[in-house]
Amino acid sequence: MEASSKQGSSTAAARPLINSSVLAWNTDEHCIIDGSSLDIAIVVAVAKFGVPAQISTDKELHKRMNDSVDMLRAHLVSGHIVYGVSTGFGGSADTRTDNLEDFQRALFQHQNSGVLSSKDIGRPQDALATNHPLHSRDLDFRFSTMSMPTSWVRASMLVRCNSIIRGHSGVRVRVAQTILDLLNRDIIPVVPLRGSLSAGRDLSPLSYIAGAIEGSPDIYGLPAELCADDPSLSFTCKGIDINMASYQSELGFFANPVGNHVQSAEMHNQAINSLALISSRYTFQALDTIHLMVAAHLFVLCQALDLRVLQIEFLRSMEAELEELDWASSMQAPEELHDTPKDAFYMRIKSMWNSTNTADLDQRCKMTAGAVMLDIVNTIAKASPGVIFESTKLIEVTTKIQNQIRTRYESSRKNLFDNHQTITPRVLGNAAKRM
């Protein structure tokens, strides 16, 4: 069968219907996708047989894609809020940021939270790999693996590319072409088998394809980080929460008794069968799922401990910082206020830090410094009712407090990041240390 001679026409239209079988393909041919004519035979040819894929050169197709990108860019430049571009997903849709590039990376991080094992990277291919790709590319299920078969991922890459070239998604032609470049060069990301809720077109598996385009190393495993940075740019724990829901659902499925499906065998001589082997196989899969749930639980628990220690260390350092803060002189407060205890200001910092944990660090420090400054002003006003505050002095002292809070927090955070294996155990009990 001849490959399509017209780059602008779809493969399905170019080849005779009588040859629509996968067997009509060979690896010397290529298929052309245009967003509307992709069929199952083409998907199998690309996914199983490694047939190369190309985007149609039809001018109208490229115009639609470019127009959608221009429209998205115009909305963003105009200051409009665009869901999933300048906002988080789902329950995080109220998250906002102007740092769109890092925000998009954070959305990938949100979904790149599945679990993979060392067996899933560099899986061996047998001698049949070059001669019989249909049988050799899916060796995954011959092993105990936590990743999808390669052909599944290849099919997902092709179908997703076919979808975005319709021009409905605000995706550049270059992005779609990059997907096909990876596909045609057999550079296929390792995608976790479990963890997807199949919501939003299976965002979790697709995020690993996006991670491959981005060049992120995190597509090969779970990153050792949680929301210790800015909440608007970190969604890992949210992804783990989604995974846990998927694991729990799968575990519930495995819990169904196989005995309800017993069939009479051997001319009814074996009317009652235990089906023990079948039950054992599903039990083994259930154990795999439980392992994933335990791993997710331990990850979140350990990260929560680290974050709690970070908070303790930061507040402890801020308490010492307040003792050195000469706020009375800075604000030209009455002499009798110079020895005012700093406890009230420390309690204000502590309460504000706990109540602003959903804000990014800049905003968090600004809000906390503003609250402390208000307490200082009220303290001075009570002692000297007729005092007049200069706005420039208020801004100056508030900014100073804000910078001190930020410096202390960043220092505490970096110290914990670098030395968490020695710092966190100091506040743990014996049982928690062993865990």
Q: What residue ranges in 344-411 does DSSP mark as E strands?
A: none
On the question of pLDDT at 49 being above 80, the answer is: yes
| Summary mean pLDDT of the chain | 76
Domain boundary residue, one of 191, 208, 242: 191
Region 308-316: what's the mean pLDDT? 88
Region 34-52: what's the mean pLDDT? 90
Region 259-287: what's the mean pLDDT? 68
Q: What angle do CA 316, 318, 324 make, to 5 degrees?
A: 120
From residue 280, give the alpha-carbon distance in Å to each of 254, 257, 289: 11, 11, 14
Distance CA 52, CA 45 (A): 9
Q: Counting Cβ atoms within 10 Å, is residue 347 exposed (0-12), middle (13-18) or buried (19+)?
A: exposed
On the question of pLDDT at 140 being above 50, the answer is: no
If you ran DSSP here, which 8-state letter would residue 50 be given? -
More confident residue, 19 or 377: 377
Give the per-residue pLDDT at 245: 81
More confident residue, 97 or 165: 165
Q: Is residue 246 part of a domain?
A: no
Give the total number of structural domains in the chain: 2
Domain boundary residue, one of 173, 191, 209: 191
pLDDT in tens, 56-102: 999 999 999 999 999 999 998 888 888 888 887 777 777 777 888 88
Distance CA 153, CA 47 (A): 8
Q: Is residue 238 part of a domain?
A: no
Q: Is residue 264 part of a domain?
A: no
Give the per-residue pLDDT at 20: 38
Region 42-63: what's the mean pLDDT? 91
Give the per-residue pLDDT at 375: 84
Q: What residue ranges in 271-319 does DSSP mark as E strands?
A: none
Q: Is residue 382 part of a domain?
A: yes
Region 161-185: what's the mean pLDDT? 92
Region 20-27: what's the mean pLDDT? 45
Domain boundary residue, one of 191, 223, 238: 191
CATH code: domain of residue 34: 1.10.275.10
Q: Is residue 293 part of a domain?
A: no
Q: Counting Cβ atoms within 10 Å, is residue 337 exposed (0-12), middle (13-18) or buried (19+)?
A: middle
On the question of pLDDT at 37 being above 70, the answer is: yes
Q: What is the DSSP string of 185-239?
A: TT-----BSS-----TTTHHHHHHHHHHHHT-GGGGS--S--SSS-GGG--HHHH
Amino acid symbol at 71: M
Give the domain extent around 154. Answer: 11-87+116-191
Give the pair of three-digit tokens for residue 265.
Answer: 């065998």
Give the per-residue pLDDT at 343: 76
Give the per-residue pLDDT at 198: 59
The pLDDT-based confidence of 295 (bands split at 50, 70, 90) is confident
pLDDT in tens, 209-268: 888 887 765 455 633 345 677 777 777 677 777 888 888 888 888 877 776 666 666 556
More confident residue, 320 or 72: 72
Residues 307 and 187 in one domain: no
Q: Is residue 15 part of a domain?
A: yes
Q: Is residue 208 part of a domain?
A: no
More confident residue, 340 or 160: 160
3-state helix, strand, coil in the chain (%, to 5): 60, 5, 35
Averaging pLDDT over each range in 10-14, 57-61, 276-280, 372-376, which range is the top one?
57-61
On the question of pLDDT at 53 being above 60, the answer is: yes
Give the per-residue pLDDT at 250: 82
Q: Is residue 210 part of a domain?
A: no
On the question of pLDDT at 337 being above 50, the answer is: yes
Residues 160 and 20 in one domain: yes
Give the per-residue pLDDT at 38: 92
Give the per-residue pLDDT at 129: 45
Averaging pLDDT over each range in 98-107, 169-178, 288-297, which range is the top one?
169-178
Averaging pLDDT over each range in 24-38, 171-185, 371-385, 416-430, which range is the top one?
171-185
Q: How far apart are the first and last CA of the chain?
A: 62
- Measured in whole angstroms, the distance separating CA 219 from the mean position of its chain's CA atoms is 10
- Give me the percent of the chain exceeding a pLDDT of 70: 72
Distance CA 374, CA 221 (A): 47
On the question of pLDDT at 127 being above 70, the answer is: no
On the question of pLDDT at 286 being above 70, the answer is: yes
On the question of pLDDT at 173 being above 90, the answer is: yes
Give backbone dihedrals phi and psi of 270, rounded to 5 degrees, phi first.
-115, 75
On the question of pLDDT at 137 being above 50, the answer is: no
Buried b / exposed e across 311-327, counting CB within 10 Å, b at 16+?
bebbbebbeebbeebeb
Give the per-residue pLDDT at 72: 92
Give the per-residue pLDDT at 326: 66
Give the per-residue pLDDT at 255: 79
Give the per-residue pLDDT at 238: 75
